[in-house]
Structures are given as structure tokens and as C-alpha cells.
Amino acid sequence: MFKKIFIVRTLGVTALLSLAGACGDSGEETTQLTTMTTTPATSTTGTTGMTSDPGTTGETAAVTDPGMTGTTAGGSGTLEPECGNGVIEEDEECDDGESNGADQACTDDCLNAVCGDGLIGPGEECDDGESNGADQMCTTECALAFCGDGLVGPGEECDNGEMNGDVELCKSDCTDAYCGDGLVAPNEGCDDGNDDNADECSNECVPASCGDGIVSAGEECDDGNDDNTDECTDMCTNAACGDGFVQGDEQCDNGAENGDDAACTASCANATCGDGLVYNTGDGTEQCDDGMNGDQDDGCTDLCMEPACGDMYVQASLDEECDDGMNGDQDDGCTDLCLAPYCGDGFVQEGELCDDGNDIPGDGCEPGCGDECKFVNGLLWCYNDEACGEPCNQVCAAHGLTPSDTTIWFNAQNEPGECQALATAFGMQGTSMASYTYACLEDSYGDHTNETLVGSLLCSTHSPCPQNHLTNMDQNGVPCGPNSRRSICACE
């Protein structure tokens, strides 16, 4: 069966010619031909008849066919457009005939399927019409919203598409990262998912650190400041003696350098004499420290020094007679040897011509410090210019000496020449030799108030004389005055 439809327009006349022919068919189908002639001014209805002439002019042929539907309008014979007839007519965008459908490229209304028409067409996952949207279950692209599409859909807090991730600001489940979710986001230093502010991660998701004001593991304290003079150091340790910072009632704190022999003691107090601790390192000069107990001769003075001449304390343990601090004045009653002045102490004091600290005759300073002792006849002869009436034991002792051997002594003065040599040495006017019991040697009886040696020198020819003279003399014990004498004795 073969069908054709022709529409011919000439000279204002439209003729519809329907020709039907069967190829090898028996003519079982009936073709009805209606011929209509229309002019611009009038319309004339022609006759109905069978025709197969495609050249007929001014006629419209209407063919009744099971495959075509249509009616005439107002008896005029014009067919109305119909969606679904497979022909795109008038306002139709498409017409796929029986293939039209809500889920087809051409809808039941002969409109092209588009995203947003409310119909789920080919290639669409959804279509909610005007309700489509970037934040809706159906997007403006007619795709079902899902986590990871880059659009924040219903139930989602965020959606950064491929940038979603458990360590990103938008997590894999499209929820916003937050401190405490157990996932470390870009703006977090840590996240342990708990509210324990004292562990290694704070409740602000910041790694615990000294100075954050939170006492965390390994810290003794944390006051959030760098003031090392308060109760918590900037190392988050409790203030303590030995931490190197002066806090509270501490006088000092040199950290590891603290010590009971150092400038800052182990108890963070400044080292002082009397604290019972010997400060002898660094600039320390203490030799001892017994707490300044007031005993200057117990081995440690109140100066925290061992006893010594010059410390202003007279110590018997050192055989000191005095101590004026070794002031350099050897004639003020106390020499720098911490002894009372005496001939032979090495210092020239009043009444001395010299003092070389020894009793060696002929070395430039005779024993007796120049005036009181003379080396004559092989012996050292001395007198005491500060006393009269003293036998030879006392005279020699006054010079720090002892009497010479009495036999040698006797033989050095019992001859006139020897006696004269002695008188000359001591500046005396003459001699007197006799068997004197004690006078070996003595000056004459007289006034010694203003004189050192008076009159002639008395020498003895009595051999026991030196022995007697050790402990006795004429005018023994009589002080210098009008009726006194001085002994001149052999000393060594």
C-alpha cells in the first residue's frame, strides 16, 4: 500500500489531492475524492468523486484513510492541527507521534523536553520544574544533588566538590569542619575530638604549648605570661630556688651556679660572713665561717678569716702581744709583727740607731741597736738605757739575749788594757780595776736622771764576779736617779 499527500497552491486556489495507489493490490480500499474550489472572494464546494488526477486545479481532494484523521471546520473542509499525528504543525516544537511522552525528547504536548519543564526527560536524573535549584534536591542541571557536586544541597552544610575531605574545611560528608570533630582541618593545629583542655591539644584545637595559659601534660604551671619573677616561669615550671630567676623572698638566684661556697648560696641568699658557709669561689675571699661567734682565737675570726697578725685581734695562739692592723707605724707601741717594740725586731724605734733584726756584731748594726751594745774584746757588751739597778740576766734579756759564758766574760775584762778598751767603746772617761764582787762591768755611782753612763768604768779581777753579776749588782733594784748604777754585761 502506498500513500501520498500533495498540497498545491496556484492562482489563489488550493487543491488537496490525495492519491492512493496499490502496488499489486486488488483495490480493496476505497478512495473518496472531494473537490473544492476556492477563490479569494467566494468559496464553492465542488462535487465529490473519485479521482486520480494529480493535475486537477482548483480542487481539494480529501482522502479518507485509516492512517489519517481530520475533520473539516465549519463545513469548509479545513483540517485542525493535532499533537501526536507525527507532523510538526503550527506551534508544535516537535511531534514524534506515538513516541511522544513525558520522558521522551518530545513531550505529550509536542514540546521539546528541556531541564526545568517538570518532566524527567532523556539524560535527566530529575526535574522539579521551577523548584530546580543549586540548593535543591534537583539542581538547575536536572541532576540529583549529591555530596561532592560542589553545590550546597539540602542537608549539606558545605560542598567544595573535589576539594571536600576529612582534613579540609568541608569534610567528606559535606559538613563543616569544626574544632572537636577529631579531624585536623587547615585552620587547626590539632584536633583530638575531646574537651580535655589539659592534654596535648586544647579545646581551641591549638597544640598545647608553654605560655598558652593552660596547664597541660609536662607543665607544672602556665600563667600565660613571660614574667619570671612571679610564681610560674616562662618555662612553665613553678618558681623555685635554683631556676635562675629571683622570686619571692629570694635574694639571688644564679641557677646551676648556686652553691654554699658561691656568691649565691644553695638557699638563694647572698653569701655573707657569718652565715656559716665559706664563700671561697669566684670573688669570695672567706677562709672560714663559724657564724661570727665572737671568739677571735678559735681558728676563725669574725672577719671569716683565719687568725693572723694584722686582723686587729690579739691571738694568744699566735703569740701576739698586740695587733694594730699592721698600720706601718713601728714605734706606736705595736709593730707590724704584732709585738711590742724591742731591739732586734728589725724596726728602728726611738732610742735606736739601727735595727737589723740580728745580733751579729760587725755587720753594720751592732747588737743593742747601735748605742746600748758594743762588740769589744771578742764579746758583745750591752746595757739597758731604760733601766738602772738591773743585774746581767735582766740586761741581756732586755735585748733579747742571754749572758755569755762567765769564764770568757771574766777573761775579756780583767786586764787594764781590756778594761780601757771597753771604757773607750762606751765613751766613758776612765777605768777602775779592783776585786769587785759584782762590778764586772758597772758604771760609777751617781745621778742617772739625765745621764746614760756615769763616771769611770769598773772592771773586776775577782773571777767569781761574772757569776755573781748575773743576779746581783751594786744598787741592785735602785731605779735611775741620784743614787743609781747601770750594769754593762757580756751577752750573746
Span 431-466, pLDDT tens digits: 999 999 999 999 999 999 988 899 999 999 999 999
Number of domains in the chain: 4
- Same domain for 312 and 291: no
54, 6 Cβ separation under 8 angstroms: yes
For residue range 247-270, what is the model confidence (pLDDT) as tens digits? 999 999 999 999 999 999 999 999
In a domain, 296, yes or no: yes
- Only one residue has cell 744598787, namely 475
Which pLDDT does position 37 carry in this prediction? 33
- Same domain for 311 and 390: no
Which pLDDT does position 9 carry in this prediction? 32
- Same domain for 316 and 277: no
Which pLDDT does position 14 carry in this prediction? 30
- Same domain for 255 and 300: yes
291, 274 Cβ separation under 8 angstroms: yes
Rounded distance, CA 379 to CA 402, Å?
A: 12
Which pLDDT does position 2 carry in this prediction? 33
Which pLDDT does position 386 carry in this prediction? 87
Residues of the chain where predicted confidence (pLDDT) is lower than 50: 1-76
- Give the bridge partners for 433, in sequence order: 459
Q: Which residues contact 411 (CB under 8 A, 6 or more apart)?
A: none
Tell which of 55, 80, 105 closes a domain: 80
For 225, counting Cβ atoms within 10 Å of its Cβ (0-12 exposed, 13-18 middle, 19+ buried), the class is exposed
In a domain, 380, yes or no: yes
**Torsion, CA 380, CA 385, CA 389, CA 391, rounded to 10:** -20
In a domain, 154, yes or no: no
Nearest to 135 by CA among 176, 174, 162: 174
Give the pTM.
0.41
- Same domain for 326 and 395: no
- Same domain for 384 and 483: yes
- Same domain for 318 and 287: no
370, 343 Cβ separation under 8 angstroms: no
Q: Where are the alpha helices (DSSP H) in 374-478?
A: 392-398, 406-411, 416-425, 465-469
In a domain, 139, yes or no: no
Which pLDDT does position 18 carry in this prediction? 32
- Same domain for 330 and 296: no
- Same domain for 393 and 429: yes
Rounded distance, CA 481 to CA 1, Å?
A: 192
Which pLDDT does position 218 carry in this prediction? 87
In a domain, 366, yes or no: no
Domain span at 297:
247-304
In a domain, 146, yes or no: no
In a domain, 202, yes or no: no
